[in-house]
Structure 1
Amino acid sequence: MTLAEVSAGTGISASTLSRLESGSRRATLELLVALARTYRVTLDELVDAPRTGDPRVHLKPVEHPYAQVVPLTERVGGPRAFKMVLRPDGRTPDPRTHEGYDWIYVLDGRLRLVLGEHDVVLTVGEVAEFDTRTPHWFGCADDHPVELLSIMGPQGERMHVRARPRRAERP
């Protein structure tokens, strides 16, 4: 492309483009975006940015006798998220209490939740939210593993689930 063609495509004057090419002018982000758009390349390609490292997150699971727990957050204080895979182990429910608030979402399997006087089974897609000062226990509801997400927060810090109601179907 000629300087005139690039100038017409970017709106950058030919003299500015010439100074950019010769190195006598530094490119601003505004100029780089216009040039990348005109040349149909990414900004990284245009400035020959170094490749970034592996984008995958490598989580370190913690093994327990009856579960594998994968911390999804590393922050101290505030809400913390975990993915848990509970293995059936025949444990008898032993409800406990502690400070905080818990939100549990079942990804796969059937989860037995003993919460106060309630003894319920949650299935895929179901959610439970409770104050952990209420005696509670959860484990596999049958002899199959159960996968769940758990978000635990300090006392009184509730999770908020917002859902848009389904639109009524027209006949």
Structure 2
Amino acid sequence: MTQEDDGDLDGLVRRRIRALRVAQGWSLEELAARARLSQSTLSRIETGRRRLALDQLVTLARALDTSLDQLVETAVDDVVSHPSVDAAHGQLSWLLKAQPGVSVVRQRMTNPPPDNPSRMRAHPGREWLVVLSGTATLLLGNRRLRLETNQAAEFPTMLPHAIGAEGGPCEILGIFDRDARRGHQRGEAGTDRPPRRSPS
């Protein structure tokens, strides 16, 4: 893959490498050592000053505890979904793909998502959310999605992402598979981090 080939994917992979490194709390030096690359080479890969080579991507994926497929995965077009309405019974329902070991967290947000793309996080897993009230903004790779009350979104968390409120507080219900939950728990504090459950 060269810098001229599919610039969107190229940039996404570079941001994802950096986001995964930051989520692990590793410096450039630490990840470079784990991937057996020089620190300057890794810095140039992250900033786009060096072409992405397949052998280096395989090595970096392994060092970041993920797979090459996940590292280069792109967003699906149908991120946002609308509920199915059963007016006769007053019910709203959303189709959710079955996932083993899911966690469900209700969150109230008051801050917008971060303006700095470097604060977007990426980690293995999949996340699903529905906006219970208010309006939320979901940053997903290069996309900025506005989610109104009763709209839902589902996406792989390997895409750099962040979520926050828009125009006032909002409440969301987030569902995380095992990997996504683990990624949020060990990541840096952020607007989309689910709170840890208090011991019962």
- Scaled by the length of structure 2, what TM-score is found? 0.37
Choose between structure 1 and 2: higher strand proportion.
1
User: Which structure has the bigger radius of gyration?
Assistant: 1
